[in-house]
């Protein structure tokens, strides 16, 4: 029974979230690589002393990391349980994707917080490092068949023992990267974030006392669980099935299925992924922890009032067999986990929309398009540019999808062209919205984008993307969006990947460019019911061509951008007939 008063509980919730937010900000402002500093591909949180469950997360870190980090902290707890030796001042480092990780680029730092000689909780930091070895600069190797081809793997090891840094581990990290200085800067940023978090938490602990904070932790989890149970109970009992596909695994050019059977029974929900494809040869596998974290993110999109901590997963049962690509084990490759979690979250939202059609949302563009360019500068130093890119989000019952947005897996931002050009020998010839890329609908999808990147010195290019074969779908009568498209310039003309969305080792001479055209989002509702004035506005803004307006929406737009009412009426009557 909670005795803490609501005002104190609200104050503590805000103070604890502020600690995580400050940790996020510390890393974002000090990291060397733009994927953390600009794109914010990182997060911080506080975790339970004995279970590793999420207690508090920051508001600007990646939600997928927060969910997976509970498994990562538990991996450290289990290691300590087996081996002992935990001391104040210890900090563990690892990137093992099978132990609560995601892929090898994401390095985790986990630190115990002691109070009066007893373990009180854990602080943790995770950030995407630019390069950690492997066959492909940047780590996204679309042709990897085992994790050893993706980079170096660290199990949980002590980076600090009783406050003393292990220089041997730092030296090993530096020796296994093409850009060790970048990684060194990111590591120090994460260490500083943990240092700040520990100071802030100890101040809070001294102010309120250990019993009050422990009671608050229990209350946060209990309230999240109660709200999630209530949200589930409001949905009709039954089993709701949904599935979608991935283009290929980079090795075999066959579609792979992610399938979900979602069962609601009273206050509980079962998420059964047993019908999904078996573990893939290529790098689009994910671990049990990552799959569970994806479900956490999807549920937060739907049940926005439920607090973001481990309590919200208490009423959820997971069925994620190791015989599927969603429960893969070592040494299956996982570099492209981002593509799989995007599809998985879409499948979750699709199944939940069947249970509650009012929540139906069309598919977002569904690929991060992990693009890397790498080469040597004039002084012989190595450069590796890795980035992800935006596209359109799906139409929904209330509005059109967002144009040129990031995927709904995170709060990350797309790195600005100016930062990438300042950091690497590249130049963006084009960074623009992509016309006719959105799915038509009463509420259309958001439009995707066109990126054209010229290499200013010789480079090697790799891409790990998706949605090159099966477009983002529409719902409630809405249309599908455009497919993903990638090309590069060569001496004999323009080329595209044989596997549509995945390629590695492409030589790009200085002065030549790659071109990425990302999908938009699917449409929501019958396009013929969209307000003709909105279609005309879309044509004037360049989102939709006059030809597509006529074909998809039955709207005739004159050259001056005005609507031909008579022709539109005839078109819509003819299409409806």
Give residue 311's pLDDT.
Answer: 86
Residue 263, domain member (yes or no): no
Is 1's pLDDT higher than 60? no
* pLDDT bucket at 576, cuts 50 / 70 / 90: very low
CA-closest candidate to residue 193, choices 46, 83, 51, 76: 46
Give residue 66's pLDDT.
Answer: 66
* pLDDT single digits (tens) 148-171: 999 999 999 999 999 999 999 999
510 in the same domain as 539: no
466 in the same domain as 560: no
Q: Is beta strand 316-319 parallel, antiparallel or unpaired with respect to 268-272?
A: parallel
CA distances from 27 to 23, 192, 194, 195, 197 (A): 6, 7, 9, 11, 11
378 in the same domain as 483: yes
Q: Work out the average pLDDT over 98-113.
A: 93
435 in the same domain as 472: yes
Is 305's pLDDT higher than 90? no
405 in the same domain as 544: no
Question: Cα–Cα distance between 337 and 294 in angstroms, integer?
Answer: 11
Q: Work out the average pLDDT over 284-308.
A: 88
Residue 572, domain member (yes or no): yes
CA dihedral 184, 189, 190, 191 (to 10 degrees): 90
Q: How many domains does the chain have?
A: 3
Q: Is beta strand 449-455 parallel, antiparallel or unpaired with respect to 256-265?
A: unpaired
* 179-197: burial string, b at 16+ Cβ within 10 Å, e else: bbebbbbbbebbbbbbebb
* pLDDT bucket at 306, cuts 50 / 70 / 90: confident
506 in the same domain as 460: yes
Answer with the one of 191, 226, 261 that is the final residue of a domain: 226
Q: Work out the average pLDDT over 502-520.
A: 97
Is 65's pLDDT higher than 80? no
* pLDDT bucket at 359, cuts 50 / 70 / 90: confident
CB 332 within 8 A of CB 147: yes
513 in the same domain as 569: no
Question: Cα–Cα distance between 436 and 54 in angstroms, integer?
Answer: 42
* pLDDT bucket at 2, cuts 50 / 70 / 90: low
Residue 117, domain member (yes or no): yes
Q: Work out the average pLDDT over 82-86.
A: 95
Contacts of residue 357, defined as CB under 8 A and 6 or more positions apart, other chains included, come to 476
CB 367 within 8 A of CB 411: no
Cα 179 to the chain's mean position, in Å? 24
CA-closest candidate to residue 142, choices 447, 506, 548, 452: 506
Q: Dig out the tokens for 193 from the structure.
A: 């974030």
CA distances from 332 to 96, 320, 323, 346, 455 (A): 12, 16, 12, 23, 33
* pLDDT bucket at 308, cuts 50 / 70 / 90: confident
Residue 257, domain member (yes or no): no
Q: Work out the average pLDDT over 191-219.
A: 96
User: pTM above the 0.95 mark?
Assistant: no
* pLDDT single digits (tens) 171-194: 999 999 999 999 999 999 999 999
Q: Work out the average pLDDT over 486-498.
A: 96
* pLDDT bucket at 409, cuts 50 / 70 / 90: confident
Identify the domain containing residue 373 by its residue range: 360-530
560 in the same domain as 454: no
CA-closest candidate to residue 384, choices 320, 286, 455: 455
553 in the same domain as 523: no
Within 10 A of 317 (CB to CB), how many other CB atoms are there?
Answer: 12
Give residue 407's pLDDT.
Answer: 82
Within 10 A of 446 (CB to CB), how many other CB atoms are there?
Answer: 31
Is 479's pLDDT higher than 90? yes
Question: Cα–Cα distance between 451 and 437 in angstroms, integer?
Answer: 14
Give residue 330's pLDDT.
Answer: 95
* pLDDT bucket at 577, cuts 50 / 70 / 90: very low
422 in the same domain as 543: no
Classify 339 as helix, strand or coil: helix
């Amino acid at each position: 029974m909670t005795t803490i008063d609501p005002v104190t509980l609200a104050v503590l919730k805000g103070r604890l979230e502020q600690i995580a937010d400050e940790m996020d900000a510390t890393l974002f402002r000090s990291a060397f690589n733009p994927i953390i500093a600009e794109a914010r591909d990182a997060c911080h949180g506080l975790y339970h002393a004995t279970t590793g469950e999420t207690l508090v997360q920051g508001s600007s870190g990646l939600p997928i990391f927060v969910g997976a980090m509970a498994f990562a902290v538990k991996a450290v707890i289990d290691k300590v349980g087996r081996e002992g030796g935990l001391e104040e001042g210890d900090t563990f480092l690892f990137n093992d994707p099978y132990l609560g990780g995601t892929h090898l680029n994401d390095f985790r730092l986990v630190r115990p917080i002691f109070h009066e000689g007893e373990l009180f909780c854990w602080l943790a930091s995770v950030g995407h490092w630019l390069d950690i070895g492997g066959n492909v600069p940047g780590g996204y190797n679309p042709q990897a068949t085992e994790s050893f081809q993706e980079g170096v793997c660290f199990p949980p090891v002590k980076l600090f023992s009783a406050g003393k840094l292990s220089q041997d581990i730092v030296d090993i990290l530096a020796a296994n990267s093409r850009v060790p200085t970048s990684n060194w800067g990111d590591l120090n940023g994460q260490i500083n974030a943990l240092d700040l978090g520990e100071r802030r938490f100890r101040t809070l602990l001294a102010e309120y006392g250990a019993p009050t904070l422990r009671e608050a932790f229990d209350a946060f989890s209990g309230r999240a669980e109660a709200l999630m149970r209530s949200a589930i109970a409001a949905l009709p009992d039954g089993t709701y099935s949904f599935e979608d596909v991935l283009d290929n695994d980079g090795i075999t050019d066959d579609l792979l299925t992610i399938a979900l059977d979602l069962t609601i029974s009273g206050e509980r929900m079962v998420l059964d992924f047993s019908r999904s494809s078996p573990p893939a040869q290529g790098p689009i596998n994910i671990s049990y922890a990552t799959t569970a974290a994806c479900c956490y993110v999807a549920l937060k999109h739907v049940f926005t009032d439920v607090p973001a901590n481990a309590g919200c997963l208490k009423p959820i049962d997971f069925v994620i067999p190791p015989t599927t690509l969603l429960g893969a084990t070592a040494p299956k490759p996982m570099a492209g986990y981002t593509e799989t979690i995007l599809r998985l979250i879409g499948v979750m939202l699709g199944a939940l929309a069947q249970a509650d059609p009012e929540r139906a949302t069309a598919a977002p563009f569904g690929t991060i398009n992990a693009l890397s360019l790498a080469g040597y500068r004039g002084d012989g130093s190595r450069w590796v540019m890795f980035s992800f890119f935006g596209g359109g989000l799906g139409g929904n019952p209330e509005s059109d999808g967002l144009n040129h947005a990031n995927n709904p897996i995170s709060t990350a931002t797309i790195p600005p062209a100016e930062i990438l050009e300042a950091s690497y020998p590249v130049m963006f010839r084009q960074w623009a919205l992509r016309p006719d890329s959105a799915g038509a609908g009463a509420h259309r999808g958001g439009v995707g984008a066109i990126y054209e990147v010229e290499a200013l010195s010789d480079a090697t290019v790799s891409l790990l993307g998706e949605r090159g074969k099966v477009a983002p779908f529409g719902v409630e009568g809405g249309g599908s969006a455009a497919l993903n498209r990638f090309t590069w310039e060569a001496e004999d003309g323009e080329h595209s990947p044989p596997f549509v969305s995945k390629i590695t080792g492409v030589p790009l001479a200085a002065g030549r460019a790659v071109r990425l055209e990302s999908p938009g989002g699917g449409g929501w509702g019958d396009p013929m019911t969209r307000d003709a004035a909105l279609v005309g506005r879309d044509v004037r803004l360049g989102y939709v061509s006059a030809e597509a307006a006529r074909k998809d929406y039955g709207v005739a737009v004159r050259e001056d951008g005005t609507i031909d009412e008579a022709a539109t009426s005839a078109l819509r009557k003819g299409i409806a007939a």
